[in-house]
């Protein structure tokens, strides 16, 4: 009997073969024993033994005859197809890259462990999710794991339950053709799987589905089964109730170059000029393995430098490198009507944040935070794809940031244009009249327009709803602007005539304008206005109730406006601000930014107030809106008198103080209001002695993330005593130019302090600094330490292990760099740099 490839004997045949092997073994044994007995013919029992041997041979002959008769199998009952453990899949080797290998190890660890049954693998298209999973699939098949089978099914965007069930059944070597309903199919799949220890891979999933609907048993620690899904959307992972999610990241610049060089061929890169361009081409691929492989193969063995230059030019067609303020982005969505025309602005902003989070979860936007302000960034390749899609219908024209000196030609301003962005160029004028009846959004900011825009330019744009002319040098606005009856958002550098006709205006942004006087009565014309943004425009709001202040619109007009939900304005003086606060108008606002005395610094909080100068009104401190989330003081000598009123602020998150005399303490005894504080910045406070004084509650700074203390010459230490135990959320410490600073943290007991979220420590120009902390600070996420001009400092207290039995403390594993000039002792792996 010969076993064919891919075939396996049936159970009856397996039993027959086992019986044959047994009889064969017994015959061999009897024959051997008989040969030995023949050598002993002189034994007294010889004749008896020969008789027994003959009887045994007769029995075995009968058994063999019976076995031969039973071996008459029909052809179709001999064997069946061998059930595969799974399919070995073709793949591109990427595991040499450190970034890819890290992701591979995370997924493999989940598969080999017992705690996680449902694993989500997510990331942008082309980033390598499927490639990594194919490598894992193949490793599972050839490895010595306990999984009975690995089932790979590609789901794709058009989810089809029937196709998915058939794909699983095909992998398990059975058919669903005898099943008439979805329930019967799911029952048959469940029956085939529920006694197996399987790995189910669902590749390219676009929408969640119930496992029981397909027939896939739910993975548990008891059955040891695993489900791994790959998707572009993190929300799909949530919908599938994954227990561990692994985000696939882009390759580093070096990894991208190595992969690109492998695909192009090293021989073509011998020419220095080609290698120089090739590095730029590889960089433009943005770390996407799919893009790197595709472009690399297209240029393989290409020796014509012109072809390389063309490829680089095409890849550089995108300019999505600048960061986008999330508030600005949400406002554009809102102004363009992408969230509908019904509802207040505050509700649309909340909805906008939900949409923004969905885009980030889908890996279409990357989140970046700088100086406490959150931005998003779109990858160049994703942006190119979006622009390509929008070049059809609804049609958009995007030519921002590409160095244009003349506007797009007239024939490019076609009838079905919906949105146009030619921001951040060098346009000096536009002297034609385009006809774009469907155009709703026109972004012209950051162009000089030193020779202006023609008066008739907007005549052919009756549907225009959003117009951005901020950061331009336009000296007069076109007369056609006053005819835009559908305009809902206008961002300006100057005020034009005819503004009163814009009755549908919901947002007026004059923050970049140069306005000496805002016209009296104009605000009342905008009955739908919800956003009035005028900080820094030049107009300061006065009041009829305060004598000696005249000229332009007054604060009573704002107080009378019941539609406003966002207000950013400058107040003439402290009396006007006090008058406004007592009116209670601020209670209807979802956000505000108020400037009093033209301070130079303002925090990014949504409800913030910035002061400059005296804060006393006839000897008494001013009153603040109780929902204020950000405070900034500059050159305010009487700020300490305001402290009693800070107790009324229940949501204060940012507190910044600059150049204020007489400021000796920031945190007073039992000042628990600062338990909400996230950012504390102190600059040029010569009289400041310490951050806290008196008995302070342990949760006083429980939410503090950033502490920055600069040019405070009298401060000896920042934190001490019980307050040290509340710094669990501290992420960044910056201390500089403090001549008397001896300790960052001080405690006479000098024990262990966990700062689990600390990421950055920057110390400079602290000549008296003896110690950051005499004990040990445990921090598992510290990334950088930057120390300069701290010659008295001899030791870093950062440690990886919180174990007093260790002879030496080790640095945190996350630590990437220590920069500066110093000499440290007492910590393994750290020395002079």
- Nearest C-alpha neighbor of 789 from the set 821, 831, 742, 833: 821
Q: What is the pLDDT of residues 11-40, one digit of tens each?
A: 677 777 777 778 777 777 777 766 655 544
Encode 135-173 in three state secondary structure: HHHHHHHHCCCCCCEEEEEEEECCCCHHHHHHHHHHHCC
Q: Is the pLDDT of residue 439 over 90?
A: yes
The confidence band for 413, taking pLDDT boundaries of 50, 70 and 90, is very high
Q: Is the pLDDT of residue 822 over 70?
A: no
Share of the chain above pLDDT 70, in %: 83
Q: Is the pLDDT of residue 551 over 60?
A: yes
- Tell me, what DSSP letter sits at residue 721? G
Give mean pLDDT, residues 440-457: 89
Decide which of 169 and 799 is more confident. 169
CA distance 295 to 281: 9
Q: Is the pLDDT of residue 673 over 60?
A: no
Q: Is the pLDDT of residue 539 over 50?
A: yes
Q: What is the pLDDT of residues 757-770, one digit of tens each?
A: 888 899 999 999 99
Res 705: pLDDT: 92
CA distance 814 to 782: 6
CA distance 633 to 621: 14
The confidence band for 749, taking pLDDT boundaries of 50, 70 and 90, is confident
Neighbours of 89 (CB within 10 A): 17
Give mean pLDDT, residues 523-539: 89
| Burial (0-12, 13-18, 19+ Cβ within 10 Å), 537 | buried
- The pTM of the full predicted model, rounded to 2 decimals, is 0.63
Length of the chain: 833
DSSP secondary structure string for all residues of 470-509? TT---SS--GGGGG-TT--EEE-SSPPTTGGG-TT--EEE
Give mean pLDDT, residues 406-418: 91
Q: Is the pLDDT of residue 802 over 50?
A: no
Q: What is the pLDDT of residues 596-631, one digit of tens each?
A: 987 666 677 889 999 988 777 777 777 889 899 998
**Lowest-confidence segment of 37-51, 83-97, 272-286, 621-635 by average pLDDT:** 37-51
Q: Is the pLDDT of residue 573 over 50?
A: yes
Give mean pLDDT, residues 370-395: 72
Q: Is the pLDDT of residue 833 over 70?
A: no
CA distance 285 to 201: 28
Res 730: pLDDT: 92
Res 40: pLDDT: 46
**Lowest-confidence segment of 277-291, 330-344, 427-441 by average pLDDT:** 330-344
**Lowest-confidence segment of 169-183, 592-606, 712-726 by average pLDDT:** 592-606
Could you identify the residue written with the tokens 């008196």? 694
Q: Is the pLDDT of residue 245 over 70?
A: yes
The confidence band for 198, taking pLDDT boundaries of 50, 70 and 90, is very high
Decide which of 349 and 154 is more confident. 154
Buried b or exposed e, range 178-215, using 16+ CB within 10 angstroms = ebeeeeebbebbeebbeebebbbbbbbbeebbebeebb
Neighbours of 371 (CB within 10 A): 8
Decide: 470 and 448 in contact? Cβ < 8 Å.
Answer: no
Q: Is the pLDDT of residue 654 over 70?
A: yes
The two structure tokens encoding residue 324: 């986008």
Q: Is the pLDDT of residue 739 over 90?
A: yes
Q: What is the pLDDT of residues 113-163, one digit of tens each?
A: 888 999 999 988 878 898 899 999 998 988 777 888 999 999 987 788 888
The confidence band for 56, taking pLDDT boundaries of 50, 70 and 90, is confident
Could you identify the residue written with the tokens 């393989």? 300
CA distance 703 to 472: 41
CA distance 506 to 190: 58
Mean of all residue pLDDT scores within the chain: 81
654 pairs with which residues across the strands? 630, 679
Res 356: pLDDT: 86
681 pairs with which residues across the strands? 656, 708
Res 736: pLDDT: 95
Q: Is the pLDDT of residue 778 over 60?
A: yes
Q: Is the pLDDT of residue 70 over 50?
A: yes
**Lowest-confidence segment of 349-353, 525-529, 704-708 by average pLDDT:** 349-353
Helices 253-264 & 98-112 angle (0-180, nearest 10) = 100
CA distance 656 to 37: 107
Res 342: pLDDT: 62
CA distance 101 to 83: 31
The confidence band for 545, taking pLDDT boundaries of 50, 70 and 90, is low
Q: What is the pLDDT of residues 655-671, one digit of tens each?
A: 898 998 878 777 654 55
Give mean pLDDT, residues 213-230: 92
* 595, containing H or E segment: strand 591-596
**Lowest-confidence segment of 47-56, 165-174, 383-392, 558-567 by average pLDDT:** 47-56
Q: Is the pLDDT of residue 443 over 80?
A: yes
Q: Is the pLDDT of residue 806 over 60?
A: no
End-to-end Cα, the chain, rounded Å: 75
Res 93: pLDDT: 63
């Amino acid at each position: 009997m010969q076993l064919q490839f891919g075939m396996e004997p049936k159970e009856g045949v397996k039993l027959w073969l086992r019986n044959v092997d047994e009889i064969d073994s017994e015959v061999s044994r009897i024959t051997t024993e008989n040969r030995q007995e023949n050598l002993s013919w002189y034994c007294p029992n010889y004749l008896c033994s020969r008789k027994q041997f003959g009887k045994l041979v007769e029995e075995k002959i009968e058994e063999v005859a019976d076995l031969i008769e039973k071996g008459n199998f029909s052809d179709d009952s001999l064997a069946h197809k061998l059930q595969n453990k799974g399919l070995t899949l073709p793949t591109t080797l990427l595991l040499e890259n450190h970034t890819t290998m890290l992701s591979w190890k995370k997924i493999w660890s989940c598969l080999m462990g017992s705690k996680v049954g449902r694993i989500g693998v997510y990331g942008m298209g082309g980033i390598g999710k499927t490639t990594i999973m194919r490598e894992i699939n193949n490793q599972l098949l050839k490895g010595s794991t306990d999984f009975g089978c690995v089932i790979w099914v590609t789901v794709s965007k058009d989810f089809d339950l029937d196709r998915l069930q058939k794909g699983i059944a095909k992998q398990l070597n059975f058919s669903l053709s005898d099943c008439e309903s979805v329930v019967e199919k799911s029952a048959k799949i469940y029956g085939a799987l529920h006694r197996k220890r399987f790995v189910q891979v669902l590749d390219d999933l676009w929408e969640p589905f119930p496992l029981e609907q397909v027939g896939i048993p739910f993975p548990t620690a008891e059955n040891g089964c695993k489900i791994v899904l790959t998707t572009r959307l993190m929300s799909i992972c949530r919908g599938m109730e994954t227990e561990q999610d692994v985000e696939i990241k882009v390759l580093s610049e070096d990894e991208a170059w190595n992969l690109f060089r492998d695909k192009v061929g090293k021989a073509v890169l011998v020419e220095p000029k080609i290698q120089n361009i090739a590095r730029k081409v590889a960089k433009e691929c943005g770390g996407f393995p799919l893009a790197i492989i595709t472009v690399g193969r297209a240029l393989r063995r290409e020796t014509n430098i012109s072809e390389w230059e063309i490829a680089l030019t095409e890849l550089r067609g995108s300019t999505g490198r600048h960061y986008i303020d999330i508030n600005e982005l949400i406002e554009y969505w809102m102004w363009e009507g992408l969230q509908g025309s019904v509802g207040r602005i505050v509700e649309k902003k909340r909805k906008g944040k939900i949409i923004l989070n969905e885009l980030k979860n889908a890996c279409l936007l990357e989140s970046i935070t700088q100086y406490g302000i959150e931005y998003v960034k779109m990858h160049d390749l994703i942006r190119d794809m979006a622009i390509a899609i929008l070049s059809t219908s609804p049609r958009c024209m995007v030519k921002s940031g590409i160095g244009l000196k003349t506007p797009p030609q007239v024939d490019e301003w076609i009838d079905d244009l919906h949105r146009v962005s030619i921001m951040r160029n060098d346009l000096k004028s536009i002297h034609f009249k385009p006809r774009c009846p469907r155009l709703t959004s026109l972004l012209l900011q950051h162009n000089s327009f030193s020779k202006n825009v023609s008066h008739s330019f907007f005549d052919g744009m009756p549907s225009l709803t959003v117009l951005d002319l901020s950061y331009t040098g336009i000296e007069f606005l076109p007369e056609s602007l006053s005819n835009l009856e559908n305009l809902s958002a206008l961002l300006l550098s100057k005020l034009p005539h005819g503004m009163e006709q814009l009755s549908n205006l919901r947002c007026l942004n004059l923050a970049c304008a140069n306005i000496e006087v805002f016209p009296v009565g104009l605000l009342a014309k905008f009955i739908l206005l919800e956003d009035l943004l005028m900080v820094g425009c030049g107009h300061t709001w006065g009041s009829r109730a305060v004598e000696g202040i005249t000229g332009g619109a007054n604060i009573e007009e704002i107080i009378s406006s019941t539609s406003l939900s966002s207000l950013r304005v400058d107040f003439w003086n402290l009396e006007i601000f006090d008058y406004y606060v007592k009116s209670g108008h601020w209670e209807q606002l979802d956000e505000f930014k108020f400037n009093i005395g033209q301070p130079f610094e303002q925090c990014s909080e949504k409800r913030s107030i910035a002061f400059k100068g005296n804060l006393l009104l006839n000897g008494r401190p001013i009153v603040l809106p109780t929902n204020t989330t950000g405070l900034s003081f500059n050159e305010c000598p009487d700020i300490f008198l305001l402290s009693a009123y800070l107790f009324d602020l229940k949501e204060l998150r940012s507190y910044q103080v600059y150049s204020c005399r007489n400021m000796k303490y920031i945190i007073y005894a039992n000042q628990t209001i600062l338990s909400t504080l996230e950012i504390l910045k102190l600059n040029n406070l010569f009289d400041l002695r310490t951050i806290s004084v008196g008995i302070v509650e342990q949760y006083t700074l429980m939410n503090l993330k950033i502490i920055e203390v600069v040019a405070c010459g009298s401060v000896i230490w920042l934190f001490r005593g019980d307050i040290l135990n509340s710094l669990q959320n501290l992420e960044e410490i910056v201390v500089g130019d403090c001549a008397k600073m001896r300790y960052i943290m001080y405690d006479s007991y000098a024990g262990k302090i966990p700062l689990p979220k600390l990421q950055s420590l920057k110390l400079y120009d602290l000549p008296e600094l003896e110690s950051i902390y005499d004990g040990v600070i445990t921090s598992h996420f510290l990334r950088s330490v930057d120390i300069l001009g701290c010659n008295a400092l001899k030791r870093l207290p950062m440690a990886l292990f919180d174990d007093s039995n260790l002879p030496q403390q080790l640095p945190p594993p996350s630590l990437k760099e220590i920069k500066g000039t110093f000499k440290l002792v007492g910590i393994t792996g750290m020395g002079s740099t």
